[in-house]
Structure 1
Amino acid sequence: GPRDLPRFIRLAQEEGLDVVVRPGPYICAEWDNGGLPAWLTGTPGMRLRTSHGPYLEAVDRWFDALVPRVAELQAGRGGPVVAVQIENEYGSYGDDRAYVRHIRDALVARGITELLYTADGPTPLMQDGGALSGELAAATFGSRPDRAAALLRSRRPGEPFFCAEFWNGWFDHWGDKHHVRPAPSAAEDLGGILDEGGSVSLYMAHGGTNFGLWAGANHEGGTIRPTVTSYDSDAPIAENGALTPKFFALRDRLTALDPAAARRPLPADPPLLAPRDLPVVGQAALLDALRATAEPVTAPLPLSFEELSLASGLVLYEAEPLLPPGEHEVTVTGLHDRAQVFVDDTPVAVLDRESASFTVTGTGTRVRLALLVENQGRINYGPLLGQGKGILGGVRVERRLVHGWTMRPLPLDAWTGRDTARAVAAAPSDGRAGFATAVLPVAEPADAFVALPGFGKGFLWVNDTLLGRYWEIGPQSTLYLPGPLLRRGDNTLTVLELERLGDRVTLREGPDLGPSEEYVETFD
């Protein structure tokens, strides 16, 4: 399947590639939680990325399962793995030397004999935190290669200069513009690395897609910044494998060192399905569908996603507070990340971390208060790594806490057509938010780029595979649909729309990642 790491490494070998493996356990990569599982980060008292005993025990169990599979594919055993990274940019996080040494020793103890190295930003502070004596110290950066080379040589005379991540592009957050880096700029700094005698790994050469709910998030200035579904990253090879102008610019710079490589044939761009509109049919109303398909859990106070054993997706929180006549302010404490609020099934507000209160009118009777809370992606970088999701505090009407909650967790990555059928049977569509479907007839499977004009925010499945999140605020307007997910004949596209349904799903001629702005990451 898609998580078969040894098979993936062997495929790379069949294509003539060497492989550098970065087994973490923390990987960043704009991946949900930086690659750490939610059950681990949600364990009370867990001290992440430190020499804390319970954390190291979890790391060792993971390495017991993972590292031997990598070790047997090392170059010394006839495989393609030529190097293994120790942790990831640890110097941007901490300086627990015992922890970094433990990761190194754990890799060696499980059979790693190829080159080991650390990778950190090109500043003294970052290198001090992450580099290990006796192991190659690499740098990660997107510009000023001469400065990075000078820093490493001053600290590690005689060591090779290795840029473990050359940021020739950048990722995007929802609500921002699509970040692009001009091809000449990327080629110039790539050339600078080569001129310094350096080795380099392009980040990203092929960005790909954060399928499902695997996109992470950053936290800047008190605001969570969820990463979009696409991880195109303005890479030289596009999401669908097409070659971009940046590919040819970087190729020209690299083949200047090996002119014979310039004569190697290049593949044609992958075919795409023809553009078309697919009518959408509403299937199930939002709240009633969720009530019918998710198992309820009750508690006096709201439970977090972690307490509900839910890594990602949605939780529907419901209570029935008695409200005296008049206007009342309702405040949600510790909301992570976004909540749609309904009073007696009528939408009244959308809340987030920075704006988590609303006003409701009481009549002296009980009201049905529902909050549909979305985990928009777990933070993957920085000191807030491992932060919980859901309602982490409580809900207050004025000063009074609301008690008596029913919660319905929805692990959307496990949703299938059977779940949709259950929802339809229990909650016919009201034409607004909820589940809807479209049919895509296919004669011969090929890639596609799917847009949802007129929709607000939600999730898209193809057959039973969750492609990812969409959101009208952009920048991303299309979701990449790989051809292997399709079959000959009719294919079902299922939408869970949280705000308002559109009337069609559209196949586009190519990707639309939104209005762009130039961005080059620098270290001052």
Structure 2
Amino acid sequence: MPRLEIAADGFRLDDRPFRIVSGALHYFRVHPEQWADRLHKARLLGLNTVETYVPWNLHAPRRGEFRLDGGLDLPRFLDLAAAEGLYVLLRPGPYICAEWEGGGLPPWLLAEEGIALRSRDPRFLRAVDEYLGVLLPPLLSRLGSRGGPVLAVQLENEYGAYGQDPGYLAELAGLLRRHGVDVPLFTCDQPADLARGSLEGVLSTVNLGSKVEAGLTELRAHLPEGPLMCSEFWIGWFDRWGGPHTVRGPEDAAADLDRLLAAGASVNIYMFHGGTNFGFTNGANDKGTYRPTVTSYDYDALLDEAGDPTAKYAAFREVLAKYGPVPDGPVPAPGAKLDHGPVELTDSAPLFEYTDFLGGPVEGDRPLTMEQLGQDFGFVLYETRLAARGPAVLSVEHVRDRAQVFVDGQPVGVLERESHEHALSFTVPRPGARLSVLVENQGRVNYGPGIHDRKGLLGRVLVNGLAPERWTSRALPLDDPADLAGLPFGAFDPMAPPVGPAFHRGYADIDEPADGFLALPGWTKGNVWINGFALGRYWSRGAQATLYVPAPVLRAGRNEITVLELHASATRTVELRDRPDLGRTED
């Protein structure tokens, strides 16, 4: 059985010297029918291991629920890796960062007022204990100690960048051991954070993207003996809405990989294949200004978002061949692509007319947060009545994250967290006019103290300095394809287009499914589903201009495309293309 040992002179596997040469591949960012393809390309590169995080928030969308089905069938992913001859580094969190919604922490934790995440708060540790208690039993047979592929398990994630409490890390280590994890544990931190993020008796590893010699020197100073390992060797980066598409040259990244391997270090390439933040799953950063991450997690990785090898794949393969065996044969060829062209969306359904199909109202004396409504992703619609006609100012203490404001169904403005906006003026046309505020969760903060990121309208919400006495809060998670399918769409009337957010639907006839990219030129902002599968968000702000469409989402024959446009569109068509457009890069 493949038992990994941590010796003074490095890793040993089955009592032989062993170097971990790994690549990051997140099963939850890849369609499950494409897992085997991505794993096969990892082995062809010359990797002996793959790494994956585990997103607690997807596996446990509600407290007391747990999913290991479909795209969350982690045991199947581990078995496929083993069948490909690959070992696995497992990173179950509870916090994962990963530019993932909330760093993987389930939002129902935030329904607890005052809870301290990533701490010894008994409420947090009790929830982590429950999580590990259902996650780990199906995985124990996949541990290397029992003949499976999982060589090691990570403890927390870059904790040194967040806190400094070895007691917290010790509690987590104890939970992992109590629930049956008997393979080595490891921590990972950036060089400056190693001391704060480490735990005695647990292997420390370092994360870096450059300055290899300095980073390894810092690790060796912290860890006088034992294996040197870079658990995240950043070879690209993620993108945010409104920013450029970030790239890193293949030669530069390959040269740093060469430096790592020449120093005798083990490595996990982050990312080998990035994949996609399907649906509403992207995270965000807030270092003074809120910045949501885009739908694509291409990351300028070795495999692009569609799983095709990039120039970086070939460059890394050449470096890996200097240090170990690489399978014979050429670099894998790109997969087939779909070039369907324009698709007209002929039907529409105004959102405000059909909210009862999507969620029920909750009455209260103030707006309720998403977490109080038991909601994870999507939107909340807040409504109240305005007492008097005339000029009005709506002021909101905290907009989380983007609020579209309507009076009697007519749009009067937008408040954006990203732009630090808190107030909006408008004219009330009549006493008793309906004020509607549609708030989008654009992604919970995934890094730093901002992870306590509750969504909706928070704090004081005033109209002309006074708090309305009654509100309705309506959760619109848009997470059930049956809800969208049940909407009473009608034929689009160009003489009476919908005002405000609306769903639009059309059909594409396809002979043979293949990977494609959906472009929405002329559309403003919203979300897209194909055959009920949530592709993700689009925004004319860019940089990303296309959404990846995995071939398994499509079928031969008729395919339904549904778009939720939050503002307005200058066209009725979308386009299925054969190549991506992730936007401009920095000069």
Shorter-chain TM-score category?
over 0.9
> 1:457-496 deviations in whole A, cap 9, x for unaligned?
0010011111111111011111111111112210101111
- Are 1:500 and 2:568 matched, yes or no? yes
CA distance in 1 between partners of 2:458 and 2:165 (Å)? 29
Residue in 1 that maps onto 2:57: none
The one of 508, 513, 537 equivalent to 1:469 is 537
Any conservation in 2 of the 1:38–1:386 contact (CA below 8 Å)?
no
Long gaps (5+) in structure 2: 1-69
SS at match of 1:252: helix
The one of 364, 378, 389 equivalent to 1:299 is 364
- Quickly say closer, same or farther: Cα 1:427–1:39, change in 2 above 3 A: farther
- Are 1:351 and 2:415 matched, yes or no? yes
- Are 1:214 and 2:281 matched, yes or no? yes
Amino acid in structure 1 at the alignment position of 2:556: R
The one of 399, 402, 417 equivalent to 2:465 is 399
SS at match of 1:274: coil
Residue in 2 that maps onto 1:7: 76
- Quickly say closer, same or farther: Cα 1:151–1:270, change in 2 above 3 A: same
- RMSD value over aligned CA atoms? 1.8
Residue in 2 that maps onto 1:59: 128
User: Displacement of 1:314 after TM fit?
Assistant: 0.7
Any conservation in 1 of the 2:386–2:428 contact (CA below 8 Å)?
no
Amino acid in structure 1 at the alignment position of 2:211: R
SS at match of 1:185: helix
> 1:310-355 deviations in whole A, cap 9, x for unaligned?
1110111111111253x33221221100011111211110111211
Any conservation in 1 of the 2:346–2:492 contact (CA below 8 Å)?
no
User: Displacement of 1:241 after TM fit?
Assistant: 0.8
Q: How does 1:194-343 map to 2 (within 5 A)?
A: 194-221=261-288, 223-258=289-324, 260-261=325-326, 263-325=328-390, 327-343=391-407
> 1:395-446 deviations in whole A, cap 9, x for unaligned?
2122111221122211112243x53433437999834540111212122221
- Quickly say closer, same or farther: Cα 1:16–1:468, change in 2 above 3 A: same
CA distance in 1 between partners of 2:407 and 2:141 (Å)? 58
CA distance in 1 between partners of 2:488 and 2:359 (Å)? 10
Residue in 2 that maps onto 1:382: 448
Residue in 1 that maps onto 2:254: 187
Which stretch has the larger CA shift, 424-433 or 468-477? 424-433
Q: How does 1:153-168 map to 2 (within 5 A)?
A: 153-168=220-235
User: Displacement of 1:289 after TM fit?
Assistant: 2.7
Residue in 2 that maps onto 1:522: none
User: Displacement of 1:454 after TM fit?
Assistant: 0.9
CA distance in 1 between partners of 2:300 and 2:386 (Å)? 49
Which stretch has the larger CA shift, 354-363 or 334-343? 354-363
CA distance in 2 between partners of 1:422 and 1:282 (Å)? 11
Residue in 2 that maps onto 1:70: 139
Any conservation in 1 of the 2:302–2:312 contact (CA below 8 Å)?
yes
SS at match of 1:101: helix
CA distance in 1 between partners of 2:338 and 2:326 (Å)? 32
Any conservation in 2 of the 1:349–1:358 contact (CA below 8 Å)?
yes
CA distance in 2 between partners of 1:426 and 1:389 (Å)? 34
Any conservation in 2 of the 1:252–1:262 contact (CA below 8 Å)?
no
Residue in 1 that maps onto 2:33: none
Residue in 2 that maps onto 1:365: 431
Any conservation in 2 of the 1:288–1:427 contact (CA below 8 Å)?
no
- Are 1:456 and 2:521 matched, yes or no? no
- Quickly say closer, same or farther: Cα 1:191–1:485, change in 2 above 3 A: same
Amino acid in structure 2 at the alignment position of 1:409: A
SS at match of 1:11: helix
Query: TM (normalized to structure 1)?
Result: 0.94
Long gaps (5+) in structure 1: 519-524
Which stretch has the larger CA shift, 341-350 or 37-46? 37-46
Any conservation in 2 of the 1:282–1:431 contact (CA below 8 Å)?
no
Any conservation in 1 of the 2:358–2:478 contact (CA below 8 Å)?
no
User: Displacement of 1:208 after TM fit?
Assistant: 0.3
CA distance in 2 between partners of 1:70 and 1:10 (Å)? 10
Which stretch has the larger CA shift, 363-372 or 464-473? 363-372
Which stretch has the larger CA shift, 224-233 or 436-445? 436-445
- Are 1:408 and 2:474 matched, yes or no? yes
Any conservation in 2 of the 1:122–1:148 contact (CA below 8 Å)?
yes
Residue in 1 that maps onto 2:51: none
Residue in 1 that maps onto 2:20: none
User: Displacement of 1:89 after TM fit?
Assistant: 0.5
Which stretch has the larger CA shift, 454-463 or 287-296? 287-296
CA distance in 2 between partners of 1:79 and 1:186 (Å)? 32
CA distance in 1 between partners of 2:131 and 2:351 (Å)? 38
The one of 95, 100, 104 equivalent to 1:26 is 95
The one of 575, 578, 582 equivalent to 1:509 is 578
SS at match of 1:272: coil
Which stretch has the larger CA shift, 354-363 or 187-196? 354-363
Amino acid in structure 2 at the alignment position of 1:250: F
> 1:119-167 deviations in whole A, cap 9, x for unaligned?
01111xx112111111210011111110111111112111211000000
Residue in 2 that maps onto 1:487: 555
CA distance in 2 between partners of 1:499 and 1:438 (Å)? 18
The one of 212, 216, 219 equivalent to 1:152 is 219
Identity %, equivalent residues: 44
- Quickly say closer, same or farther: Cα 1:295–1:389, change in 2 above 3 A: same
SS at match of 1:25: coil
Query: TM (normalized to structure 2)?
Result: 0.84
CA distance in 1 between partners of 2:253 and 2:299 (Å)? 13
Amino acid in structure 2 at the alignment position of 1:163: C
Amino acid in structure 1 at the alignment position of 2:328: R
Any conservation in 2 of the 1:420–1:435 contact (CA below 8 Å)?
no
Amino acid in structure 2 at the alignment position of 1:78: G
- Quickly say closer, same or farther: Cα 1:314–1:423, change in 2 above 3 A: farther
- Quickly say closer, same or farther: Cα 1:376–1:423, change in 2 above 3 A: farther
CA distance in 1 between partners of 2:487 and 2:257 (Å)? 54
Any conservation in 1 of the 2:375–2:477 contact (CA below 8 Å)?
yes
- Quickly say closer, same or farther: Cα 1:264–1:101, change in 2 above 3 A: farther
CA distance in 2 between partners of 1:425 and 1:403 (Å)? 36
User: Displacement of 1:275 after TM fit?
Assistant: 3.7
Any conservation in 1 of the 2:348–2:490 contact (CA below 8 Å)?
no
Q: How does 1:41-190 map to 2 (within 5 A)?
A: 41-123=110-192, 126-190=193-257
Any conservation in 2 of the 1:375–1:389 contact (CA below 8 Å)?
yes
User: Displacement of 1:364 after TM fit?
Assistant: 6.1
CA distance in 1 between partners of 2:566 and 2:335 (Å)? 33
CA distance in 1 between partners of 2:178 and 2:430 (Å)? 67
- Are 1:430 and 2:497 matched, yes or no? yes
User: Displacement of 1:193 after TM fit?
Assistant: 0.8
